[in-house]
Amino acid sequence: MNAVTAERYDESCLLRPGNTNCGGCGMSIGLTMLGRALAGEDYVLVIPACCGIVTAGAFPTTSYNVPVIASTFASAPAFASGVAAVNDLNPVTGAKPQQVFCWAGDGGTYDIGMATLSAAAERNENLVYICYDNEIYGNTGGQRSSATPAAARTATTPGGKTEWKKDIIEIMAAHRVPYAATLSIAHPEDFQDKIRKALRIDGFRFFLVHAPCPTGWKTEPAESVELVRLAVNSGVFPLYEVHDGVDYRINVEADGTDPAEYYDRQKRFAGREFDVESVKNWLQSRNERLRKLAKS
C-alpha cells in the first residue's frame, strides 16, 4: 500500500485504509485486531465522542466496514442498550446474532460515561464494551483523565498528575459482570482468544485495551507496540480476566522486566517529580493482590 491508494486490502476488515489517525496510534492497531478477531461476525459499533469516531472520517465516507452509531460522549452504553434490546426482541433464526460493541476512549469510560457504563453493567445488558485506554483526552490535545497514571505530564497537569489511575477492571468486576478482561496490542493471540471467548458469553462484557498515543505520551510512533509489551512484561499493565467478578485468571505473566524501562521511554514521565520507587511499590502490591485472587 502506498500513501495515495490502497492497492489491496482485506474486504472483510473492520478498519479500511484511508483514515487519518496518527502514526503509531494504539487505538488503530486495536481496531485492526478487533476486526480480525470478529471476521465473519455480524456486529455494529457504538462510538462516543473520541478519536474512534474521528477515525470514520467526514460524511459521506467512512473508514469503518460495519454499521457505526456515533453517540454523545456519556451515552455509548445507553445507545448500545437500545440497539441490543431490539436485537434480543428480534432473534434471527439460522444466523449468528448481531453483536453490539461499544468502542470508547478512557475519557468516555472512566470519566463522563462512568454512570452510564456502571448502569449498563449493573443491568447486565447484552453487549461488549471496549475501552481503548490512551490515558488522556487525546482528541482534544492531551488533557488528564482519571485514567492518566500518576506523575504523567499532560496539558492540564503540567507538573505531573498527583493522583493515581482509577482501576477500571476492579470497578467492573465489582459489578459482577459475566466477563471483564485486559487486552494488549503486543499479544495478538491473547487478544483474539479473549474476544472470541466473549462472543460465547451472554450479558455485559468489558475489555480494556492499553492504547499508546505517541502524540500525547511524547513517544516514538514506531515504539507503540514495544511499549505495550514492556507494560505487560513489567507488570504495569497485567493481562488478566475476571469471570463473574470473582474468578480471576492471569493470562500472561510478567517476566520481571524493570518498570523503569517502560517509564524511561516516555517523555510524559520525564519530570523530576516522578518517583519511580513509589510507583514500583504500588505496582508490586497491586500485582501481588492479583496473583492471590487468581490462585484462590
Partner 1 sequence: MSLAGEANRSARGVVCGIYPITPQTEIVEYVARFPFSKGRVIPVESEHSAMGVCIGAALNGARAFTASSSNGLAYMAENVMVAAFYRLPIVMAAVNRTLGPPWNIWADQGDTLMFRDFAWVQLYCDSNQDVADTTLLAFRLAEDPRILLPVMVCMDAFIVSHTSMEIELATQEQVDRFLPPCDVPQRLDSAHPVTIGGMAFPQDTLSQRLDLDEALRRVPGALEEHRAQFREIFGREVSGAVESHHCEDADRILIASGTVASTLRSVVEEWRLRGERVGMIRIKMFRPFPREEVRALCSGSKKVGVLDRNYGADVGGIFCHEVRAALQGQAGVGERAPLVQSYLTGVGGGDVVPDTVQEVLEELSRRSAAGDPVWKGIET
Determine the angle formed by the axes of helices 26-37 and 224-233, rounding to 10 degrees: 80
**Minimum distance of partner 1 from residue 72's CB (angstroms):** 5
Does 3 bind partner 1 (CB under 8 A)? Our answer is no
List the one residue out of 2, 252, 65 whose CA is nearest residue 57.
Answer: 65
Burial letters 126-162, b for 16+ CB under 10 A, else e = bbbbbbbbbbbbbbeebbbbbbbbbbbbbeebeebbe
Q: Does 42 bind partner 1 (CB under 8 A)?
A: yes
Stretch that binds partner 1, among 28-36, 70-78, 225-233, 262-270 (CB under 8 A): 70-78
46 binds partner 1 (CB under 8 A): yes
Grid cell, residue 218, equals: 511524547
Of residues 18, 23, 82, 159, which one binds partner 1 by CB under 8 A? 82
Binding of residue 64 to partner 1 (CB under 8 A): yes
Window of 113-121, 170-178, 234-242, 271-279 that interacts with partner 1 by CB under 8 A: 113-121
Question: What is the C-alpha radius of gyration for the chain, rounded to an integer number of angstroms?
Answer: 18
Cα-Cα end-to-end distance for the chain: 50
Sign of CA dihedral 175, 177, 182, 183: negative
Nearest to 130 by CA among 86, 169, 88: 169
Under 8 Å between Cβ of 83 and 42:
no
Given the rule CB under 8 A, which of 53-61, 150-158, 188-196, 274-282 is the region that contacts partner 1? 53-61
- Of 4, 7, 40, 59, the residue at the interface with partner 1 (CB under 8 A) is 59
What does DSSP assign to residue 107? Answer: I
> Shortest distance, CB of residue 116 to partner 1, whole angstroms?
5
CA 250 to chain CA centroid, Å, is 17
Can you give the length of the chain in residues? 296
3-state secondary structure (DSSP) of residue 126? coil
Residue owning grid cell 489517525:
21
Nearer to partner 1, 97 or 188 (CB): 97
Nearer to partner 1, 112 or 279 (CB): 112
Asked if 87 is part of the footprint of partner 1 (rule: CB under 8 A), the reply reads: yes
Question: Closest Cα partner for 102 from 123, 128, 78?
Answer: 128
Q: How many residues bind partner 1 (CB under 8 A)?
A: 43
Q: How far is the CB of 11 from partner 1 (least distance, A)?
A: 12
Q: How far is the CB of 61 from partner 1 (least distance, A)?
A: 9
Q: Residue type at 191? A: F
Q: Minimal distance in Å, beta carbon 288 to partner 1?
A: 34
Instruction: CB nearer to partner 1: give 53 or 252.
Output: 53
Residue of the chain from 39, 115, 155, 246 that contacts partner 1 (CB under 8 A): 115
Interface positions, 120-149, toward partner 1 (CB under 8 A)? 123
Q: Is 102 in the site for partner 1 (CB under 8 A)?
A: no
Q: Helix, strand, or coil here: 128?
A: strand
CB of 103 to partner 1, least distance (A): 12
Amino acid identity, residue 166? K
Among 15, 31, 44, 180, binds partner 1 (CB under 8 A): 44
Q: Which residues bind partner 1 (CB under 8 A)?
A: 42-44, 46, 53-54, 56-60, 62, 64-72, 74-75, 77-90, 98, 115-116, 118-119, 123
